[in-house]
Amino acid sequence: MAQDKSNEKSAASMDTELGRLVVEQGLATQAELQECLDIFRTEKERQAGDGGGRTLAEVLVEKGMITEVQVRRVKKTIEASRGQEIPGYQLLAKLGTGAMATVFKARQLSLDRIVAIKVLPRKLSENADYVRMFYKEGKAAAKLNHPNIVQAIDVGEAGGFHYFVMEYVEGHTLWDELRQGLWDVPPAIAEAPDQAGKAEADQVRRQQVKQLFGEAEALDIVIQIARALEHAHSQGLIHRDVKPKNIMIATEGSVRKAKLADMGLARLTADVEAARLEAGRAFGTPYYISPEQIRGDVDVDFRADIYSLGATLYHLMTGRVPFEAETPVGVMQKHLQEPLIPPDHISTNLSAGIGEVVEVMMAKNRNRRYKSTSDLLVDLEAVAQGNAPLQARKQIDGGVLSGLAHAAGSQELVAAGPRLAGNLMLYIILLAAALAISVLLNLVQRFT
């Protein structure tokens, strides 16, 4: 008898929460819900003796207010949120679950605004290292205030669960858009059983991904994220995990707004102790990680973020990541050793200027990357306006001259004789003169 009453109470609670979420998520109006509630209660009263009758969910589906799939999603949200009540917030829907946390859409009651809440699973809440990293993410995000960065609001603990409250972005990730290109392959091609058919499907997928982001659209997104990184770097923070999954896209009218999210791996460049503890360990995502992060260098700085943003830009414009291999280790080895195929060699409709920018962003030697995020922004904005990337050309030409000067002083050159050395020095002088003329012409072109 006690068990029956407990089950009835649980079912009633589920119906109450289901009705509330159906309206709050815009699946049905309050009037439509009330119509179904009246039917549900009438049936309940008629069949009170035998304990029968349909559930509210069944009535909603039968009346065509919501689908069975939507019912299952709402119930999952209810079940996931039970036991995770956070004072001052009302959980509305589960947005996603990852290895490290579950993210909910919620309402902040005091300000009556929608927010996102990241909740650490109970099993990870018992791990001091995970808890420390979780709070570190919240504190890192709280240092930043920029329109292209997801804003931190609160961090705390309730009922044994650790949570991080942040700005809710009505949209999706950049990765979702990249992945969408893989979904649109015609079924007749995608389901082809033979090898030739699979090859055709792969080709269609690549073509459709490439069509998602033209140079102008990719630049618009990356410029916004570069501004976010410029702000973070000015505060002494490096993100260390810039990638499409950590870039949110929201549409505000006709404008697409990009926001940098997930500060889980962010670190202060001045945090010597953290750098020492992480020495020798690779933090980042294999497809977008910088060579120095792979090596586990202690003095990783803003140039690692520039590399990862370059890999992201590469992916957007070519429809493929810079390096591919069978395993994550294989991918990282290529970041360290394999020359980069310029993006404009893959997608020939891209400008040479954007190819130069990406090559400097993704230089394996970080000393040959941009000297600052501000310099990078100058070039990105110049290329977006149809001008030459002068900062990139300085880096490229400087690298060439440095390499030639090194060769001129090497033992191999000495062994080749003074005549070769003299010719090489003449070439260096001519190249320097050509560089000066190129810069002068670009400046004249820019201001005329």
The two tokens of residue 326 are: 């069978």
- Amino acid present at 384: A
Say which residue the tokens 């205030």 belong to. 145
The DSSP output letter for 366 is: G
Max alpha carbon distance in the chain (Å)? Answer: 109
Helix (H, G, I), strand (E, B) or coil at 343: helix
> Would residue 241 show up in a list of annotated catalytic residues for this protein?
yes
Separation CA 48–CA 282 (nearest Å):
63
Which residues sit opposite 105 in a β-bridge?
93, 116
Best CA proximity match to 264, nearest among 153, 138, 146: 138
The two tokens of residue 275 are: 């750098």
Phi, psi of 162 (to 5 degrees): -95, 135
Separation CA 159–CA 310 (nearest Å):
42
In DSSP notation, 55-122 reads -HHHHHHHTTSS-HHHHHHHHHHHHHHTT---TTEEEEEEEEE-SS-EEEEEEETTTTEEEEEEE--H
Within 10 A of 52 (CB to CB), how many other CB atoms are there? Answer: 10
The two tokens of residue 433 are: 């003169």
Phi, psi of 166 (to 5 degrees): -140, 170
Best CA proximity match to 141, nearest among 157, 152, 127: 152
Catalytic residue (choose from 241, 262, 305, 375): 241
Helix (H, G, I), strand (E, B) or coil at 361: helix
Which residues sit opposite 306 in a β-bridge?
none
**Residues annotated catalytic, as ranges:** 241
